[in-house]
Homo-oligomer: A and B are copies of this chain.
Amino acid sequence: MIKRVTIGFLGCGNVGSGVWRLLENFAGDIAHRAGLTFYVKKVLVRSLDKKRDIEFPPDVLTIEPEDVLEDPEIEMVVEFLGGEEPAYTHMLHALKNGKTVITANKVAFALHWHELQKAAKKSGAGLYYEAAVCAAIPIIHSLEESLQANRISKVLGIINGTTNYILSRMSRENADYETALKDAQRLGLAEPDPSSDVEGLDAAYKLSILASIAFHGRVPFEDVFVEGITKVTAEDIRCGEELGYTLKLLAIAKRDGLNVETRVHPTFIASDHPLANVNGSFNAVYLFGHACKEMMLLGRGAGDLPTASAIVGDLERAATTTKHRYPTFANELNPKIALKNIKDWKCPFYIRMLASDKPGVLRTIASAFADAGVSIAAVQQKGVQKDGRVTLVIITHTASEKAIRKALDEIPFDTAALVSMIRVEQENPVNESDELETL
């Protein structure tokens, strides 16, 4: 017996067209495997006159949101509008009417998760968002189902394909940021206004969702520290590589007890770390759970079909579940056990300076770091500049940014001037016998 599920689309751009076509092409398979058939009754569009690749049956297209949101026959709504509004208002409307919502919209979802989930729970509707984070990569579902008997202590992600493409190009070809960005725009990998990607906001929205699910506690978008890649230079990428590091825009979430830190910034990571080899527009999420140990999921984190792939997966999931589930957030249930957002997290730092090439300079610099309590892991002096100064690259041991700033403030400008400072993510080396441990 085939169960017919009536659905509506909010918007129908490239991803929406992809979902329409996947449902069309896989209708037989889905009916056969899951006993389901999806019937798209209404598709909300901005204009009925626009020429489209898909020939929709008569009366499917509409410009009235209510035709989707108020039709009692429509059980599930797939939202393709993107951006905060009107997507949020429409999703809330659908959920209040008991319609399950499937969305790929990280912005509206990250900003209004609480309200959306509250409405969903109240009406018993489902809320599915696999496609909102890293498109086809099944990271949300893996965290929510497969890995639930784990205490996840760390999530490291390359979750923005645009910036990863730019950094990969800069690394591979020693290209400068502007050139790499222009190429990304030409290829359609970056928007004409690239700020949401290159400033790290896109990654921060996704990290807020990932961290909340991984840690079972809501991490609001506002709590994510964000620094983009616009100031990254090919020179720093090369200096780091010589020391065995690869530069990535990493989204980092760590949990230690109730302390959580979430941050997105350019980060040096050891070149033999699995994330270091994730190049081009690929995305990847690396995590550590106390039972599963290290895990990484890599794939296409954007694109019409990869996103559509995740949405159809969610549609089937929603249609075959007994009872929709919602993540539970410790800090919403019991304010006493609220996660604490750590602002003064520590990490090793990469520091590049231009220093005078004269006796005693290294001693002055070393003293400044020592006085600030910062321990130095490696120093490398490089070629002499035209003005007679030398490039000095320092990798510190784990330290607070405050301590680093204090050390730098102590170094007289005529001794050495700071050029750049980049955070380093140091993973503990994997012990091969680790996996033999028992609980």
| A interface list, Cβ under 8 A from B | 14, 17-18, 21-23, 25-26, 29-30, 32-35, 53, 130, 136-138, 141-142, 145-150, 165, 187-189, 216, 272, 274, 277-282, 289-300, 302-306, 308-310, 312-313, 316-317, 320-323, 325, 327-328, 430, 432-433, 435-439
Whether B320 lies near A323 (C-beta < 8 A) is yes
Between-chain CB contacts (< 8 Å), 28 pairs: A18-B439, A32-B328, A33-B216, A33-B328, A136-B146, A136-B289, A136-B292, A138-B138, A138-B146, A145-B313, A145-B316, A150-B309, A189-B432, A274-B278, A277-B277, A280-B430, A281-B432, A289-B309, A291-B305, A292-B306, A292-B309, A293-B299, A294-B299, A295-B298, A303-B436, A304-B438, A305-B437, A321-B321
How far apart are the CA atoms of A138 and B24 in the complex, in Å?
27
Query: What 7 additional pairs, Cβ within 8 angstroms, besides A274-B277, A300-B435?
Result: A18-B438, A141-B141, A292-B306, A293-B299, A295-B299, A305-B438, A306-B435
Expressed in whole angstroms, the minimum distance between the Cβ of A10 and any Cβ of chain B is 20
Copies in the complex: 2
CB distance from A180 to the nearest CB of B (A): 12
Chain B: which residue is nearest A296 at the CB level? B298
B438:A26 contact, CB within 8 angstroms = no
- Whether the pair A291, B18 counts as a contact (CB closer than 8 A) is yes
Please report the C-alpha to C-alpha distance between residue A322 and residue B316 in the assembled complex, in whole angstroms: 13
The 4 closest A-B pairs by CB, nearest first: A303-B435, A136-B292, A149-B312, A138-B146
User: A14 — which chain B residues lie within 8 A by C-beta?
Assistant: 438
Q: Tell me if A34 and B289 are in contact (CB < 8 A).
A: no
Q: How far is the CA of A35 from the CA of B279 in the complex (A)?
A: 41
Closest approach, in angstroms, between the C-beta of A156 and any C-beta of chain B? 13
In the complex, are the beta carbons of B281 and A149 less than 8 A apart?
Answer: no
A26 partner residues in chain B, CB cutoff 8 A:
148-149
Within the complex, which residue of B302, B320, B436 is in contact with A435, where a contact is CB–CB below 8 Å? B302
List of B residues within 8 angstroms of A299 by Cβ: 292-296
